[in-house]
């Protein structure tokens, strides 16, 4: 039955029998949507005096804003940094798969690459709204090539760059930064202050990472507008009590009052020990953003796979270079990371959910659209059980994925008069 066009307003959807995440709490309340947005039911009752056109029984589910993953390199065998011919198809394949992990939008991440690759890939990686076809794209995350040789991790040294020519270097390398959400750079590179200010003035989130910076260099970068730390603890100098390096930023008293510092954590228990998750959570919970940093091996079955130039072996909970113990990136989904974080830090379920939804939206400055269930925002949300398993994913109030073994979702339509 197509209800559109049969009445003088777009249909109102009423999600019933649910606990919704509002103002840092779960409350038993119905959630109302219209035209892909969350709406204020009081206005519906009192101003328009209409009842819901569709009622959905949520069977007591928790409803949380959809997850936002700001650092993901690929999945299902697709490596965003290696695609050149089939960029759109690769992104679309991953975007579709992310729906089952509760991810409603994300930032495809490109690691340090040859200049030619950026110029091939970036024009094809556009911001887009999510839909039944997949999670939305909020802009790319460019991780490198302006990073430190000393903490390059898996990034290829031959492609690393510096800012010797000023901001023009940034444009020369990437070609375009129109659809860029985040750039990860090392703040100890010469000219980084000028570069950070320029990027921030263009509304690009500057993240500090793959860096040997000391705390002071990190603090200067934050004063210049950097607002994120890339996978805290990984690819940076370790915390030292005389110079805590970038890790110390989460406890710094030199962050300007009007600025909020966020940091990504790979909450898989492998790349970040649970004790490190607990420390970060105790020190600076309101800046914590759960990221997967997932690699193309995520979502592939156990066993050996060839991904780009690498032979990768997927074991129970990790991916290694075949025949070695060398980790080659995270393969835990966002939903599993949230569950792991929740369990290992003993945080409330609300806190864990907000670290994967509200906080990344705050980081990107998009809370008017994403990251909460406030009236007027996009109706991107997920149904979860009390163990935080995702049972259904909605984008713009449309059901885009459902766990086939969960409860039956029933939609009741108001009969036409
Ligand atoms: Zn990295």
Distances (CA, A) of 357 to 19, 68, 79, 291: 16, 5, 24, 11
Query: Domain 67-364: what homologous superfamily?
Result: Metal-dependent hydrolases (3.20.20.140)
Residue 257 has pLDDT above 80, yes or no: yes
Residue-wise pLDDT tens digits, 356-415: 999 999 999 999 999 999 999 999 999 999 999 999 999 999 999 999 988 877 778 876
Residue 137 has pLDDT above 90, yes or no: yes
Active site residue 169: no
For residue 143, the CA-to-ligand 1 centroid distance in Å is 7
> What mean pLDDT is reported for the chain?
94
Name the active-site residue from 53, 69, 293, 380. Answer: 293
For residue 6, the CA-to-ligand 1 centroid distance in Å is 52
For residue 327, the CA-to-ligand 1 centroid distance in Å is 13
The stretch 145-150 carries a mean pLDDT of 97
| pLDDT confidence band for 3 (50 / 70 / 90) | very low
pTM of the predicted protein model = 0.95
CATH 3.20.20.140, the chain: domain bounds: 67-364
CB 292 within 8 A of CB 361: no
Residue 374 has what pLDDT?
98
Count of other CB atoms within 10 angstroms of residue 116: 10
Residue 188 has pLDDT above 70, yes or no: yes
Residue 1 has pLDDT above 50, yes or no: no
For residue 108, the CA-to-ligand 1 centroid distance in Å is 13
The stretch 117-127 carries a mean pLDDT of 95
For residue 264, the CA-to-ligand 1 centroid distance in Å is 10
CATH 2.30.40.10, the chain: domain bounds: 12-64+372-413
Query: Domain 12-64+372-413: what homologous superfamily?
Result: Urease, subunit C, domain 1 (2.30.40.10)
For residue 113, the CA-to-ligand 1 centroid distance in Å is 13
For residue 153, the CA-to-ligand 1 centroid distance in Å is 7
Residue 415 has what pLDDT?
64
Residue-wise pLDDT tens digits, 28-43: 999 999 999 999 998 8
């Amino acid at each position: 039955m197509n209800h559109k066009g049969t009445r003088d307003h777009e249909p109102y959807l009423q999600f019933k029998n649910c606990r919704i995440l509002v103002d840092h709490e779960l409350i038993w309340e119905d959630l109302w949507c219209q035209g892909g947005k969350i709406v204020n039911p009081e206005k519906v009752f009192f101003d328009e005096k209409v009842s819901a056109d569709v009622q959905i029984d949520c069977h007591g589910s928790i409803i949380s804003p959809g997850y936002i993953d700001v650092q993901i390199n690929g999945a299902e065998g697709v490596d965003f940094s290696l695609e050149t011919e089939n960029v759109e198809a690769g992104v679309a394949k991953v975007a579709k798969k992310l729906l089952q992990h509760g991810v409603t939008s994300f930032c495809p991440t490109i690691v340090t690459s040859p200049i030619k690759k950026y110029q091939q890939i970036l024009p094809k990686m556009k911001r887009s709204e999510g839909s039944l076809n997949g999670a939305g794209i909020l802009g790319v995350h460019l991780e490198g090539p302006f990073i430190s040789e000393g903490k390059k991790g898996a990034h290829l040294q031959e492609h690393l760059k510096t800012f010797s020519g000023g901001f023009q270097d940034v444009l020369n390398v990437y070609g375009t930064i129109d659809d860029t959400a985040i750039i990860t750079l090392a703040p100890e590179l010469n000219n980084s202050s000028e570069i950070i200010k320029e990027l921030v003035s263009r509304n690009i989130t500057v993240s500090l990472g793959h860096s040997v910076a000391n705390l002071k260099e990190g603090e200067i970068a934050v004063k210049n507008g950097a607002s994120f730390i890339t996978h805290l603890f990984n690819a940076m100098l370790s915390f030292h009590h005389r110079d805590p390096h970038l890790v110390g930023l989460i406890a710094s008293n030199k962050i300007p009052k009007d600025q909020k510092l966020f940091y990504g954590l790979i909450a898989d228990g492998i790349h970040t020990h649970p004790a490190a998750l607990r420390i970060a959570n105790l020190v600076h919970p309101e800046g914590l953003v759960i990221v997967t940093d997932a690699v193309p091996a995520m979502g592939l079955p156990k066993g050996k796979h060839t991904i780009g130039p690498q032979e990768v072996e997927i074991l129970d909970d990790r991916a290694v270079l075949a025949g070695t113990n060398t980790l080659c990136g995270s393969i835990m989904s966002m939903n599993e990371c949230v569950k792991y974080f929740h369990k290992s830090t003993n945080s409330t379920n609300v806190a864990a959910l907000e670290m994967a939804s509200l906080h990344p939206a705050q980081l990107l400055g998009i809370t008017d659209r994403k990251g909460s269930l406030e009236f007027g925002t996009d109706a991107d949300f997920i149904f979860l059980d009390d163990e935080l398993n995702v049972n259904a994913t909605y984008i713009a109030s449309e059901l885009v994925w459902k766990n086939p073994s969960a409860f039956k979702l029933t939609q009741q339509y108001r009969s036409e008069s």
